[in-house]
Structure 1
Amino acid sequence: MMRARTIITLALTYALLGLLMNSVGIVILQSIVHFGASKLMGSTLEACKDLSVVVASFLLVGAVPAFGYRRSLIAILAVMAFVCLLASFATGFPAMQALFVMTGLAFGITKIATYSAIGLVARDPADHASITGLVEGVFMVGVLAGAWIFGWFIDSGDWLRVYWLLAAFCALASFAWIGIRLDESAASTRGDGASASAGWKEMLALAALPATVAVLATLFLYVLIEQGVGTWLPTFNREILHLPAAMSVQMSSIFIASLALGRLLSGLLLRRIAWLPVLLTCLAALAALVVLALPLAEGVRPRADTGWANAPFAAYLFPLIGLFLAPVYPTICSVALSALPQHRHAAMIGLIVIFSALGGTIGSFLVGLLFQSVPGTTAFYFLLAPMALVALALPLVRRRVASMAR
């Protein structure tokens, strides 16, 4: 019972911070309308959250296990409850910048603590992969729920009140951790009993391993694909499929929902089937779906009466790539962490967070550049290249990680 409660609370905590992190697009839009911020000013919110995630991962990766994963999560949730409460009284755009700096720092710490805690409760590598898939699936459900929660408050006329609700959620989650016991002894000591110091030196030592290079390169390519699609799917819907502006954003939630479903299903599937065949099958299906869906988007004509009932079939089919894309990230993270002793998990997660942030930023930039430079659906066709590279890298990851575990 305590194990199940720990996993559920862990997943909900991670999802709550994910909701805050992924609200940046909505907050940019509302800051332009509500605070009179320019688009250039609004874009700084992305940098506020991404750079602070990197800072937290690099500078605090040793402090989190030293302070304790459970205590770190309690403290972060309490701080974010207070920060959200302050954000509800914001009177200018700098308050939103400060909010996302704090959110990025909190998310970086939360990801380190969450993935490290998974290693403490998992019984074996298959169980680790299953729990990771579940936690990442709930994370995506939180992101999807956030879009609708923010939308409801925006429609009500006072969107800043959403932070009252989010402050309450953070406070409740913080209290939920108080009654949970988590044995962190395996993470706080090395095999010889010495204290662990998983700081930046430990990260650099891990980064020099061939297995780590293979894992980080694969995750970098994955996040490049996911963020490239996620960031520019509304633009694809608007400019290529000629959907109304609001509908273009709403239909992009199909991608988020399919990512959530794919990760939840993978959590069940990986208990019974080896991870490499599952991921290679997913990548093959992913490429096939891209090749099938994008031609359907070509030649779509604008219509004045476009709605959900008569939207182009490609608008429903293409976002389903999230279903097959979803298992890759949590599974590779799980495989890498399962091969390492507990006291090195925090350092590896720090590296994963940094390279994920870089992959997301570069992926969004590259796809945006392609949308500007090439016609029609061609921009998304270019994502077949990193998909192929991920497929080629996976057998290498398995061999390298196996050697790291020995």
Structure 2
Amino acid sequence: MKNAGIKISLFLIYFVFAALLNSVGILVERSQTIYEIAKPDAAFLELFKDLSIAIMAFAVGSFLPRLGFKRAMLISLAVVFFACLGMYFGNSFWSVKLLFLTTGLSFAVVKVAVFALIGYITDSKKSHSSLMNLIETVFMLGIIFMYVIFPLFFNDEVDKNAWLRGYLLMAALIAVAFIIILFSKFDITSSPSEGFSKDFAQMLNLFTKPLIWVFVAFAFLYVMTEQGIMTWLPTFNKDTLKLDAKLSSQMAVLLMVSIALGRFLTGIIAKKVKWFYISVVCVILAVVLVLLVLPLAKNIDAIEINSLADLPVVSYLFPLIGLFLAPLYPLVNSTVLSSVEKSKHSSLAGILTFFSAVGGTLGSLLIGNLFDSFGGDKVFYLSLIPFALMFFIFFIINRLTTETTLES
């Protein structure tokens, strides 16, 4: 397989960072239970992570090719390796903050590197789209891994610090990824740097292109919607569907599984079907699912759950929205990136990562602040607004990418 070493490296590093990044929900609970941190202080971890991603992504996008993609990935892995050890030995809320700070900063570098590298190791828009979907599928598998495997270390009744051994496992996985990437050949030749100020100016110059503004709007809306649903689905299960806390989190994993499955299938379908048709159909189906399924969440009474058959039907059906959300982000990202010169992929990936992080933070805050006001059975109807906006954005992006390719 051509560029097999690079592709394996991208899969591995995305898996590791997906697991660490999306452990916020787990660490929020652990911080309250183990470190006796108040809810408002624990909730600050989400912002801590996303702001570090946003700031670093905007700063690193222009000069990453000069640093070197392989070197940047190795440095990022080394940083989070020591952050995981810091969690195990530090065992404090400050260790948690440091973990998310370093993970956020490192992931910003990794995401820009990965998105840029995809352009260098694929030779067509369809192969670019297919690889993008597979990498995003691996990202979702990393999230599932964290939520399924990490809690197995919990043993609060016997040893309240037993959960920290999960970070020794993460450190070991990071070390494996580091070694594989270290010995992988990265035969990538990027355009020579003209200096940081000129590189940064060229990145900002991308905002003179209409396509970039539309792309930024899509990235913001999509991540705002996905994160809003993903972050608050356990609360929806608990408060609205009347499931217990543990079952609420377990059922939320269905959303991650459906997104992973959706991206895996899209990686196959995208080789034969144009991104535009897949995206339009998926956003329509997402709207239909919201309109048909959310009414089932109204006025549910608490009942004893003795088997999976006792669960409310909506607890199974609503997470299936992940199947329709799944294709949108990687397909549109791939379409726009592959319409830009490879030398600009790093800068564009930095812009994308910045606005994605901001959108994710606002999505979580928006749903969180409106959850009690609207009620859990109504708050997710708000997703219909960004879905409608994305529907029209697809037509604009399709026209802009069909007519022209961004030039210097």
- What is the TM-score when the length of structure 2 is the normalising length? 0.94
Find the counterpart in structure 2 of residue 93 from structure 1.
Answer: 93
| Within-5 A mapping of 1:300-319 | 300-305=300-305, 307-319=307-319
Deviates more, 1:77-86 or 1:110-119: 77-86
Distance in structure 2 (CA, Å) of the matches to 1:182 and 1:305: 53
Find the counterpart in structure 2 of residue 169 from structure 1.
Answer: 173
Is the 2:66–2:192 Cα contact (8 Å) retained in structure 1? no
Q: Deviations over 1:159-186 (max 9, x none)?
A: 111111111111110110122212221x
Find the counterpart in structure 2 of residue 377 from structure 1.
Answer: 377
Is the 2:51–2:358 Cα contact (8 Å) retained in structure 1? no
Find the counterpart in structure 2 of residue 4 from structure 1.
Answer: 4
Deviates more, 1:302-311 or 1:49-58: 302-311
Find the counterpart in structure 1 of residue 55 from structure 2.
Answer: 55
Find the counterpart in structure 1 of residue 361 from structure 2.
Answer: 361
Distance in structure 2 (CA, Å) of the matches to 1:73 and 1:148: 26
Cα RMSD for the two superposed structures:
1.7
Distance in structure 1 (CA, Å) of the matches to 2:224 and 2:45: 19
1:344 aligns with 2:344: yes
Q: Deviations over 1:129-153 (max 9, x none)?
A: 0000000011001011111122111
Runs of 4+ in 1 over 6 A off after TM superposition: 194-198
Structure 1 residue 2 displacement after superposition:
5.0
| Within-5 A mapping of 1:5-404 | 5-155=5-155, 157=159, 158-185=162-189, 187-189=190-192, 199-305=199-305, 307-404=307-404
Distance in structure 2 (CA, Å) of the matches to 1:169 and 1:375: 41
Amino acid at match of 1:335: T
Amino acid at match of 1:170: I
Secondary structure in 2 matching 1:65: helix
Amino acid at match of 2:241: L
Secondary structure in 2 matching 1:250: helix
Structure 1 residue 199 displacement after superposition:
4.4
Q: Which runs of 5+ in 1 are unaligned?
A: none
Distance in structure 2 (CA, Å) of the matches to 1:358 and 1:30: 25
**Residues 222, 198 of structure 1: alpha-carbon distance in 2 compared, 3 angstrom cutoff:** farther
Amino acid at match of 1:97: K
Secondary structure in 2 matching 1:188: coil
Percent identical: 37
Structure 1 residue 195 displacement after superposition:
7.6
Amino acid at match of 1:125: K
Deviates more, 1:24-33 or 1:253-262: 24-33
Amino acid at match of 1:132: M
Structure 1 residue 123 displacement after superposition:
1.5
Secondary structure in 2 matching 1:88: helix
Secondary structure in 2 matching 1:372: helix
**Residues 80, 376 of structure 1: alpha-carbon distance in 2 compared, 3 angstrom cutoff:** closer
Structure 1 residue 196 displacement after superposition:
8.8
Q: Which runs of 5+ in 2 are unaligned?
A: none
Q: Deviations over 1:233-255 (max 9, x none)?
A: 11111111111111011100000
Structure 1 residue 203 displacement after superposition:
2.6
Distance in structure 2 (CA, Å) of the matches to 1:206 and 1:332: 17
Distance in structure 1 (CA, Å) of the matches to 2:178 and 2:191: 22
> What is the number of residues matched between the two proteins?
402
Secondary structure in 1 matching 2:91: coil
Amino acid at match of 1:188: S
